[in-house]
Structure 1
Amino acid sequence: MLPDEIISEILSPALKVPEELFSDTSDVSPFSNYAPSTSAYLVRVVCKDWLRVATPLLYNVVVLRSTAQANALAIVLKQNPEFGRFVKKLRVEGGYGIILKATPEITDLFLSLAIWASDNTSGLCKGLPLVNPHRVILVDPWVAHPLKNQQLEALRPGQTVMSCLGSWKNMRIFNHPYGSRIAISNPVWAKRALEIQKALVKSRVHTITLSSTFTMIPRFIYSLCDIPSLQVLQFPRPLEEHAGRLVGQINGSSRLKKLAKYTLYQPLSEHSAAYAEPDITPSLNPNFTPMQSAPEETRERVWKRVLFFAMYVEELRSPSFSRSPTESHPSRLPILSVSTYFHSLALPYLCECVLLTPQSASGIQRRLQEQPHLGSFIRRIFTTSEQFSSSIRDATRYLFRHAINLEVFIPATHDRRQRISTEAFDLLAKTAGHSLRELSATMDSVSASSLKSFTALRVLEIGGFKLCVSPTGFPPDALKTLHTLHIHCAVLGSILGIFASASKLVQVHGQKLQYLTIDSPREFPVLYLCPNLLELEILADCDLVKLTPRVPHNSLFKIIVQFVPTTIKEMEFDPAMFPALREIQIRDLKWPTNERDISKSRIVPLAESLFQRNIKLTNDEGKHWVPRLKTGRVRKG
């Protein structure tokens, strides 16, 4: 039996809401995510001891984002009044105040003035005077036009909230909702800032935290200096370009200078900017050679493994990893200068990944002209340009001629495929056709004989508008190992016209294709030709009803489309025809982040309908809809 203190330490990381999330004043709530609720960890399925310890942790911080959540929590607190004393921090993102009379021990209160006409703030108006928090965080959303409605008027400055700011005797810290933008924005915000100042004059607040970024000191800031109890006016770190002006304005007021606290950008000194040299104790025997007595093969294997990590080869194999030296990943060149032995072992790692840009192209070509043998070390080439300039063309030709062991040729970013000529493509096929595993490029034309040379190619991504292959010359044994095919723009239509069939390319490879990207599936029966397909990405408009096969497709796990469907009917397909389908991803999908937008969304009912069929509807980040705002759960929504 574990002591309660140990159980609490175990459960705290899973059940507690971090302070930085609770106090986050961003325009989009950090709780509008779609990760599993932390209450899913609730330990009643473990034992009563864990439930007893977990309950105070679960209710310590409460976040309310829907009427259903507020009502569900009110029912729980009515049935278990003692739970109300566990609530120390309450974040209310809307007009949900029904629980305030049951939570007398609140120390931290977060209130949002994002109140719509459909909200009901009567519970807040009645409940706010019943609590007495130590810290209050007030947020007023920056929108094109300030919100105005009867429900907000009952709370807004001059009404309930302002009355409470002056009467909460325990309030010592107040997070102000406004920044310097109110000086040039709608006068409604300036009026509300003045009302807040008048209310705080009656309070005992000693610290006001300003969360908004300041480019200048607005008038209401000087008014805050007249609050008798105020001791600290905490400014956020100013933008570097505005720091001088802000400091000058602060120093120009003796009262403001006395109260203001802020952190400025400090330029790094030469000492702090320099990379720290490791503190290494000098060897007692300067003539000692590590592993001198070990066999040469063993010594080489060990040092290669050490250098692999020292030169962060694995990280550089990712195209998104920075090629510029940083403090955490300094230049690798000094390693090659340690000794001739280190140079010979580390040089292949230095040359393994090449970043081809318009700026680096000439230098790469020059280096290969001077030392052609370096080409054999190149395994990956990442490109950053779609241009077909002379420097890029010449460098590409040299790389393809000498990179005889090349495995990957892809863009550093997905939408920047390098254009390569027919001549360069044929050269690549001759020199690296046996080793190339992944190719992503825009090509003017491709010959059938060149395709046959790629015996190791697994992933092929083609961009552009021309793909000219002889109708009779496409060999059926070409691209034997291909399992992923991405064809962008109108390329697929060209292939279909050339082969004069239901796409001879897909017919030949359809049985082994697992991942396919096409412009439109309407031209041919893609699912019939690709019975083992796991993932299908469609670049144009997609009507899943028309995509549905006549017989069940037993492998398709995921469908990716680019646009939210125009009508829900486009997604009303027969799930029996896709028994393995578990995810439909929509690239441009933006999930609603508050109760009002959820009620107006046409995609949310579709997501919930698909979820009942065990199919997740996800956005570009892979986040699927969680109908938590309607289920009555209390925590993150």
Structure 2
Amino acid sequence: MSDHSLPDEIISEILSPALKVSDEVFRDTSAVSPFSNYSESTSAYLLVCKSWLRVATPLLYNVVILRSKAQAKALSLALSGNEELGQFIKKLRVEGGYGAPMLAILKRSPNISDLFVSLEIYSTDNTSGLCKGLELINPTTLILRERRGKLVENKMVSQLLDALSKSIPKWDRLRAFDSPWTLTSESNRFEPVFSPLAKSKRLHTVAISTVSSAAWAYHMFKQCPLETIHVKTPLLPSERDRWDLRLEKDPELRRLLKFVDWPNASPSEPVPELPLVTNPFFIPLAGAPQDVRDQIWAHVLYFAMSVPELAYNPTMRDVPPKLPLLLVSKTFHRLGLPSMCAHVFLRRSSAVPSFASALSRNPSIGPYVRSLAVEYLQFLGDDSDSDVDDEQSKVEVEVDESVGADPMLAVLSRTGALVRFGRNKNIPIGRFSFNVERSISWDAFEAIARLSGSSLRDCAARINTRELASASVFAGFTALRALTWNSSTTFVDVPNASSDGLPNLEELRISSASPSFMLVLSRMKLHHLRRVVIYGGPESAETLLRAHGSKLTELYVSHTTLRAKILEFCPNLRTLSIPGKSSSKPHTPASTAFRPRLERDMSRRMEPLPRQLHVPRHVLRLPELAYVFNVEALARPLETVSSTRGRNAVLKDSHMGKMEIAEWERFFTEFDPVSFPNLREMKVEYCEWPTTEREIAKSSWARWGEMMIKRNINLVNRNGTKWRPRLKVK
């Protein structure tokens, strides 16, 4: 049998990108370590097979990151068991003291070239092993980390600085130093390090945080053969010019300084020069048939006008202007007009009648419109339009009298091939502004159903209320898959409403609705309905869910609407989302939709629950949340229960009071996994995982995460990152 295994060199090339730690990341001295993530350990690659273990071991040990005592102890034991492993270590990053194991590590790692040491060491840590081991190595680069404004002063730090002061003169290979200190540092603690570095006269490269400390650092190390002073904080081009003027009096310092370009400030890639056209009468594709030329140029203009991007998000702004392309030639105008009009976003109130007039004068462009959104900011006390710099605002069109009193109706009456009207989410608006989504009349909504009903797949509109309307309008939406309803319109012919309305509806989103609207939907078959989102929480939601709850796999319902009866109508749910109030205080308790007494009342009815459970960012009173678990219908099919509140809210232990911690503690302690055999994931969207060994030791979230892991359930934060157990010292 032939050997199909890959050579070690090929395996090494495959694994190197996955195991490599870039020099930039290794040197990162920011407040939060770039290694404070909770992804799968790269050591997992070594467990794939023996050949991967053999090839990946040197790659894994090339850069070593130590972030806890347990990791340091594990590494020291590994090096003691196999001293060859220490030969592979070239870069060592130590983010704490970590006690005696550090001596064993440094003793068995003679080839360390880059040493990263953190000075954020607390008195409970121990630097004895690190201090003793420093003189056993001979690095070429020393990187120190200490956050400005968060100086840690104790015996352990003093011992470490003293050990560095004694070891630096012995490091005859040391050529580069990354300093955490600046001209404005709070103390003179840099002297034990700067003094031996300056006296050794070996440094070639010095890295500093800010350019304002450049002269200070240059003065400190003036006796060294400096080649570069690297400024880590990016500078804008204007700041660079200003500092160049300041440094004109010191050309030597100016020569040494190397700056980091501001993100996106670097010049773009040079555009290749096009060859000169020798024939001014050259016509591209002149030899091709006319229909082939048209197809090619139509595709070119399709992408040049960002049609695919606008199909995904018609309201995006960072797209190149399209109008100049139409003005190139008559051919471009003819072929580019469908792409130009495919996705229309009207950002000004004046754009609606203007666009209606354009459609009236040129009806042929109406069928080209595939999606239409009308959104613009309007501020309290300001009847004027927002100052929007876009193509539509620059095109002045005289309003035709045929537009009438309802310009939006005129637009929708001439765009009969819409696939999408509106959009699924609002653009960011100011604190004093109204909702940017503009409302349409009921007549305009009927026009959509009548003219675009066979093509429209997504409709998200705010519709002006009509006291008495006919439910027959929904029969026209034969292709609609997603409907966002925001109207209090009352329907009069509910008993006669057709059961065949909205035959392809898969997703229903309700912001505002009358009870009669819910009754109309309850009479429909809606065979394909799978997802229901109820934002405002109309009391009549029970009517809808009683009729269609058995079809749903996903339900998004307000905590003010959630009741036991509603959930019992949805036995096949896989995802339940419970939104909360948009409070700026993540520790503010939620509404009392889930009463603690219900936990006692329904404790006998607890049934197996989900694969995934997502906990609201606002719900901190867990006896309230426990009510969800006790609903009899939420049994084996349910995989996800989620809920959200404020966009950026996170909750550290320091943000929670004793009451909140006690209630969460009670919840996790009393949580019985036997009752939830399918539950594998619990998502707490406002949870923030600790990032240091000290924080982990104090973190309630970490403790609860490990508590749930023992029950074969992962605790997950808002980003989908699950807690992974840390190594522990036995």
Calculate the TM-score normalised by the size of structure 2: 0.72
Number of matched pairs: 603
Kindly provide the amino acid, as one letter, of the partner of residue 23 in structure 2. E
Q: Deviations over 1:64-91 (max 9, x none)?
A: 1111111111111110111001000111
In the other structure, the counterpart of 1:630 is 727
Secondary structure of the structure 2 residue equivalent to 1:418: coil
In the other structure, the counterpart of 1:379 is 370
- Aligned counterparts of 2:126 and 2:369: Cα–Cα separation in 1: 65
Deviates more, 1:573-582 or 1:88-97: 573-582
- Aligned counterparts of 2:364 and 2:673: Cα–Cα separation in 1: 56
1:39 aligns with 2:39: no
**Correspondence 1:173-322 to 2 at 5 A:** 173-179=176-182, 183=184, 187-188=186-187, 191-214=188-211, 216-217=212-213, 220-236=216-232, 237-253=234-250, 255-262=252-259, 279=275, 286=283, 289=286, 291-292=288-289, 307-319=301-313, 322=316
In the other structure, the counterpart of 1:418 is 437
Go from structure 1 to structure 2 and tell me whether the alpha carbon gap of 1:384 and 1:80 turns closer, same or farther (over 3 Å shift): farther
**Correspondence 1:371-520 to 2 at 5 A:** 371-381=362-372, 385=376, 387=378, 399-408=411-420, 409-410=422-423, 418-421=437-440, 423=442, 425=445, 427-440=447-460, 445=465, 449=471, 453-461=476-484, 466-470=512-516, 474-475=520-521, 476-477=523-524, 481-488=528-535, 491-492=536-537, 495-496=538-539, 499=540, 503-520=542-559
Secondary structure of the structure 2 residue equivalent to 1:584: strand
Kindly provide the amino acid, as one letter, of the partner of residue 592 in structure 1. P
Asked if the contact 1:311–1:332 (Cα under 8 Å) also holds between the matched residues in 2, the reply is: yes
Go from structure 1 to structure 2 and tell me whether the alpha carbon gap of 1:223 and 1:398 turns closer, same or farther (over 3 Å shift): farther
Deviates more, 1:100-109 or 1:224-233: 224-233
In the other structure, the counterpart of 1:606 is 704
Kindly provide the amino acid, as one letter, of the partner of residue 416 in structure 2. I
| Alignment gaps of 5+ in structure 1 | 633-637
Q: Deviations over 1:200-248 (max 9, x none)?
A: 212344333435244x347633532433333322224423453344223
1:14 aligns with 2:34: no
Deviation, structure 1 residue 187: 2.0
1:169 aligns with 2:188: no
- Aligned counterparts of 1:445 and 1:91: Cα–Cα separation in 2: 65
In the other structure, the counterpart of 1:324 is 318
Go from structure 1 to structure 2 and tell me whether the alpha carbon gap of 1:615 and 1:445 turns closer, same or farther (over 3 Å shift): farther
Deviation, structure 1 residue 554: 3.1
1:589 aligns with 2:687: yes
| Alignment gaps of 5+ in structure 2 | 387-404, 430-435, 487-509, 581-617, 646-650
In the other structure, the counterpart of 2:86 is 84
Asked if the contact 2:571–2:634 (Cα under 8 Å) also holds between the matched residues in 1, the reply is: no
* Identical columns (%): 36
Deviation, structure 1 residue 561: 2.3
Kindly provide the amino acid, as one letter, of the partner of residue 148 in structure 1. E
RMSD after superposition: 4.0
- Aligned counterparts of 1:75 and 1:410: Cα–Cα separation in 2: 58
The equivalent position to 2:627 in structure 1, one of 546, 553, 568, is: 546
Go from structure 1 to structure 2 and tell me whether the alpha carbon gap of 1:418 and 1:285 turns closer, same or farther (over 3 Å shift): closer
Deviation, structure 1 residue 105: 0.7
In the other structure, the counterpart of 1:111 is 117
Deviation, structure 1 residue 337: 5.1
Q: Deviations over 1:517-574 (max 9, x none)?
A: 2221633444322233332221124444211221453332222223669432456655
Asked if the contact 2:198–2:221 (Cα under 8 Å) also holds between the matched residues in 1, the reply is: no
- Aligned counterparts of 1:399 and 1:481: Cα–Cα separation in 2: 31
- Aligned counterparts of 2:675 and 2:448: Cα–Cα separation in 1: 42
Go from structure 1 to structure 2 and tell me whether the alpha carbon gap of 1:509 and 1:387 turns closer, same or farther (over 3 Å shift): farther
- Aligned counterparts of 1:45 and 1:91: Cα–Cα separation in 2: 26
Secondary structure of the structure 1 residue equivalent to 2:129: helix
Deviates more, 1:279-288 or 1:550-559: 279-288
Asked if the contact 2:374–2:438 (Cα under 8 Å) also holds between the matched residues in 1, the reply is: no
Kindly provide the amino acid, as one letter, of the partner of residue 204 in structure 2. T
The equivalent position to 2:338 in structure 1, one of 342, 348, 371, is: 348
- Aligned counterparts of 2:274 and 2:38: Cα–Cα separation in 1: 44
Go from structure 1 to structure 2 and tell me whether the alpha carbon gap of 1:62 and 1:523 turns closer, same or farther (over 3 Å shift): same
Deviates more, 1:597-606 or 1:160-169: 160-169
- Aligned counterparts of 2:667 and 2:341: Cα–Cα separation in 1: 49
In the other structure, the counterpart of 1:139 is 145
Go from structure 1 to structure 2 and tell me whether the alpha carbon gap of 1:268 and 1:105 turns closer, same or farther (over 3 Å shift): closer
Go from structure 1 to structure 2 and tell me whether the alpha carbon gap of 1:266 and 1:527 turns closer, same or farther (over 3 Å shift): closer
Deviation, structure 1 residue 172: 0.1
Secondary structure of the structure 2 residue equivalent to 1:323: coil
Asked if the contact 1:65–1:94 (Cα under 8 Å) also holds between the matched residues in 2, the reply is: yes
- Aligned counterparts of 1:550 and 1:29: Cα–Cα separation in 2: 45
Deviation, structure 1 residue 351: 2.2
Asked if the contact 2:377–2:385 (Cα under 8 Å) also holds between the matched residues in 1, the reply is: no
Secondary structure of the structure 1 residue equivalent to 2:516: coil
Go from structure 1 to structure 2 and tell me whether the alpha carbon gap of 1:242 and 1:137 turns closer, same or farther (over 3 Å shift): same
Asked if the contact 1:483–1:513 (Cα under 8 Å) also holds between the matched residues in 2, the reply is: yes
Go from structure 1 to structure 2 and tell me whether the alpha carbon gap of 1:459 and 1:232 turns closer, same or farther (over 3 Å shift): same
| Larger RCO, structure (CA 8 Å, separation 6 or more) | 1
Secondary structure of the structure 2 residue equivalent to 1:155: helix
Asked if the contact 2:79–2:85 (Cα under 8 Å) also holds between the matched residues in 1, the reply is: yes
1:127 aligns with 2:133: yes
Go from structure 1 to structure 2 and tell me whether the alpha carbon gap of 1:12 and 1:595 turns closer, same or farther (over 3 Å shift): same
- Aligned counterparts of 1:88 and 1:352: Cα–Cα separation in 2: 57
- Aligned counterparts of 1:92 and 1:351: Cα–Cα separation in 2: 59
Deviation, structure 1 residue 36: 1.8
- Aligned counterparts of 2:285 and 2:445: Cα–Cα separation in 1: 51
Deviation, structure 1 residue 374: 3.1
Calculate the TM-score normalised by the size of structure 1: 0.81
- Aligned counterparts of 1:64 and 1:448: Cα–Cα separation in 2: 69
Q: Deviations over 1:583-602 (max 9, x none)?
A: 43333322211111112111
